[in-house]
Amino acid sequence: MAASAPSLPEQLLKSIEQNRIPPCPAILQQVVTETRKTEPDLRALAVIISADAGVAASLLKTVNSPFYGLPDKAHTVQQAISLLGIRATANAVASITLQRALPTPPQLDRFWDSSMKIARLSGWLAQQLQARVNIAADLAYTFSLFRDAGIPIMLSRFPDYHATLQEANTCLLRGFTEIEEERHSTSHALIGYLLTQSWWLASDTCKAVRHHHDCTLIATDNRVLSVESGNLIMLAQLAEYLLQQTSGQCHTREWDKMGEAICTRLGLDDTALQELLEQARDLPLGDD
C-alpha cells in the first residue's frame, strides 16, 4: 500500500477479503500465462506445477483416472503434461484448484461429491460418444466441474438460497435460473460464467456455463451457442441423468425438461441410452 494512502476502515477491508469472487489461483495464472505464449515451454510448465506439491499430486491422480481417457499412465508431472497437451493441462489445474477456492462448508459435501461424479461421467461419456460429439474428455470433465460452481457462491451470499434451490430442483414448469432470478435477481449460471471468465477458461466453456439451463438454446440450432458449448452442456446433463439413475444422487428435474431434445441431438435411442446406463452402473465413480 502506498505510504500516503489513507487507511480504509478495517471492516471494509475485511469485507473485501471475505466477499471477493474466488480469485484466479496464482498457480493457474502462471500456468495460463505460460500456455498462452507463442512457444510454450513444457518444462517451465512442469516447474510451475511441481512447485505446488498438492496440485502436482492431484494432477497425476486426475489424469491417470480412467475418466480422462489417456492411453498411458503418467508417473511424473512432465509426463502428465506431454500426455495431456498444454490446454488440457491448464484445464486440469483449474479443476484441481476450484474446490480449494470455493466456500466448502460441510453441508456442501454431497454437492461436491455429485459434481465430481458428474465430471467423471462426462469425461467417460465424451469418450463413449466421441464419434457424435467430438469433445475431448478433459474438456467435458472441466466443464462439468465448473458448471455449478456458482451454487456454493450463491449459498454463501444469500441465506435463503437453500429454499430457492429446493424449488428450482423440483419445479418442472419453470426454468431453473428463472426461479433463481426471480428471488435473487441473478443465477448460479451467470455467477459461474463470470467465475470461469475470470479464471481464463476457454470461451466455449464460459458460454456453456452461462447457458447450461437454457432449454430452448440446447434444443435448437442457434448462433448463441457454439457446437462445442452445446455438446458440453448435453454431455454434462446426460452425465447428471446417469448419476441420478444409477445412484439416486442429484435431484433435479432438468432431464425431464431437456432429456428428449438431448437424446435427439446426440442421436441416442432408448436402447443406446439403456446401454450407457448399464455401463455407467459398473463405473468406479467414487474412486480417485
Partner 1 sequence: MDELTGFLDRQECILETERLAHGESNLCVLWVSLNRFREVNISFGHNAGDEVLYRLAQRLQAQISPGSRIGRIGADEFLILLPGLPLSTAEALAGHIHATLRVPLQIGQANWRQSCSIGVASLGTESATSLLQRADQAMQEAKQSGGALTTVVASGSVHGNPVTILKRNELSIEEKLHQAMETGGFSLNYQPVINVTDNSIEACEALMRCRIGDEMLPPDRFIPVAEKTGLIIELGDWTLLTAAHMAEQLLANGHPTKVAVNVSRAQLTAPKFQQTLQALLTISPLPPSLLELELTESLFMDTSIAVRRNLDAAVEAGLSLAIDDFGTGYSCLAYLKDIPANKLKLDRTFVKNLPEDKKSLAIVRAITRLAQDLGMTVVAEGVETPEQLDTLLGTGVNALQGYLFTRPLPEQQLESWLTDFKGN
Q: Which residues bind partner 1 (CB under 8 A)?
A: 1-2, 4-8, 12-13, 15-21, 32-33, 36, 38, 69-72, 82-85, 87-88, 130-131, 134-136, 139, 150, 153-154, 157, 181, 184-187, 190-191, 193-195, 197-198, 200, 202-203, 206-207, 223-224, 226-228, 231
> Based on the number of CB atoms within 10 Å of its own CB, is 65 exposed (0-12), middle (13-18) or buried (19 or more)?
middle
Nearer to partner 1, 4 or 107 (CB): 4
Answer yes or no: are the C-beta atoms of 164 and 181 closer than 8 Å. no
CB of 174 to partner 1, least distance (A): 15
What grid cell was written down for 138? 478433459
- CB nearer to partner 1: give 102 or 273: 102
Shortest distance in whole angstroms from residue 158 CB to partner 1: 8
> Least distance (Å) from partner 1 to the CB of residue 260?
22
Residues with Cβ within 8 Å of residue 168, at least 6 apart in sequence: 176, 177, 179, 180, 252
Inter-axis angle of helices 137-147 and 203-211, to 10 degrees? 40
Vertex 115, ends 109 and 211: CA angle to 5°?
A: 130
Least Å distance, CB 205 to partner 1, is 11
| Distance of closest approach, residue 148 Cβ to partner 1, in angstroms | 14
Distance of alpha carbon 201 from alpha carbon 196, whole angstroms: 6
Q: Of the two residues 117 and 213, which places its CB atom closer to partner 1 in the complex? A: 213
Pick the closer one to partner 1 by CB: 12 or 53: 12
Closer to partner 1 by CB, 145 or 154: give it: 154
Give the residue with the Cβ less far from partner 1, 166 or 216.
216
The three-state (H, E, C) secondary structure of 220-285, written as one string: CCCCCCCHHHHHHHHHHHHHHHHHHHHHCCCCCCHHHHHHHHHHHHHCCCHHHHHHHHHHHHCCCC
- How far is Cα 149 from Cα 22, in angstroms, rounded to an integer? 11
Q: What's the min distance (Å) between Cβ of 281 and partner 1?
A: 26
